[in-house]
């Protein structure tokens, strides 16, 4: 049956930035599909882990700053020590700093690029080494509309998310022959903490909604189907793709 291709029983996932918002919703979706999940964030992931256990799955909460030296490699070791395997990596953790281009500080540039791109590369590399040994694995990056567009007042974020697009493709090229699929999800404008300032700005909020064919902001749960698809055997022949979940934003 085709629905069996979307089942994740026996698989272990690591989801970063899983304490709330998009990361928490994706972690829960993977658990609902049958996966055991390590939920990682700089803040406490206990709530996410508890909700995963309520679904009958094993869960681990990892509090870790992935920008710290050696942290990405340690995160993978923690998952392997706790679960014995790692089948799915979801690189969702990210930060944003807003400022006009002429006022972006070097510190903000470095912090955003480190968290949103460098840490993703290092964590993916550590996970892929394990996956390649088993010739099986799924790595999913969380990109953005700003992987395709420039945006305004978010220079480091746009640079990092554009870099993720390239990283997705080079990883697909090199890892697909070794049994590991790498793809990305590009969420549109989602109602999360990161977008709270935009939603609070009546003019900007109206401009954004006017361009979304679906006529609404997305919710974290809107990513559930996409993440399960890309993490499951149903996507075994999908490599280097970026799936926009944007209410039609890019089509406008």
Is residue 250 a part of any domain in this protein?
no
Residues annotated as catalytic are: 157
Task: Find out whether 243 and 185 touch, Cβ atoms under 8 Å.
Answer: yes
Domain containing residue 31: CATH number: 3.40.50.720
Q: Mark the ranges of the chain whose per-residue pLDDT is less than 50.
A: none
User: Angle, to 10 degrees, between the axis of helix 224-231 and the axis of helix 21-32?
Assistant: 60
Res 81: pLDDT = 97
Q: Is residue 195 part of a domain?
A: yes
8 Å CB contact between 139 and 182: yes
Residue 234, pLDDT score: 98
Helices (H) and strands (E) in the chain, counts: 9, 7
pLDDT reported for residue 198: 86
- pTM of the complete model: 0.96
Contact predicate 157/112, CB 8 Å: yes
For residues 180 and 192, give the distance between their C-alpha atoms in angstroms, rounded to a whole number: 30
Task: Give the chain's domain count.
Answer: 1
136 inside domain: yes
pLDDT given for residue 193 in this prediction: 84
Query: Quick check: helix, strand or coil at residue 180?
Result: strand
The answer as to whether 181 is a domain residue is: yes
Domain residue limits at 17: 2-245
Interatomic CA distance for residues 53 and 37, integer angstroms: 9
pLDDT value of position 34: 98
252 is a domain residue: no
């Amino acid at each position: 049956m085709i629905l069996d291709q979307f089942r994740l029983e026996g698989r272990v996932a690591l989801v970063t930035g899983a304490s709330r918002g998009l990361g928490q919703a994706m972690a829960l979706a993977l658990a609902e599909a049958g996966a055991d999940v390590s939920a990682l964030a700089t803040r406490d992931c206990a709530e996410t882990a508890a909700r995963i256990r309520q679904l009958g799955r094993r869960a681990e909460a990892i509090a870790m700053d992935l920008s710290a030296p050696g942290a990405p490699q340690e995160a993978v070791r923690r998952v392997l020590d706790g679960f014995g395997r790692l089948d799915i990596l979801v690189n969702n953790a990210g930060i944003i700093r807003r400022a006009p281009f002429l006022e972006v500080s070097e510190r903000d540039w470095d912090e955003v690029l480190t968290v949103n791109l460098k840490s993703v590369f290092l964590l993916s590399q550590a996970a892929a080494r394990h996956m390649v040994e088993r010739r099986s694995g799924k790595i999913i990056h969380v990109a953005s509309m700003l992987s395709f567009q420039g945006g305004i007042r978010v220079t480091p974020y746009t640079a990092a998310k554009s870099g993720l697009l390239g990283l997705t493709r080079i990883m697909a090229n090199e890892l697909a022959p070794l049994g590991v699929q790498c793809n990305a999800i590009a969420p549109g404008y989602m109602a999360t903490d990161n977008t709270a300032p935009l939603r609070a700005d009546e003019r900007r909020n109206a401009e954004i909604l006017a361009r979304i064919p679906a006529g609404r902001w997305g919710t974290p749960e809107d990513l559930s189907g996409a993440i399960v698809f890309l993490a499951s055997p149903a996507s075994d022949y999908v490599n280097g793709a970026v799936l926009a979940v944007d209410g039609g934003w890019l089509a406008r």
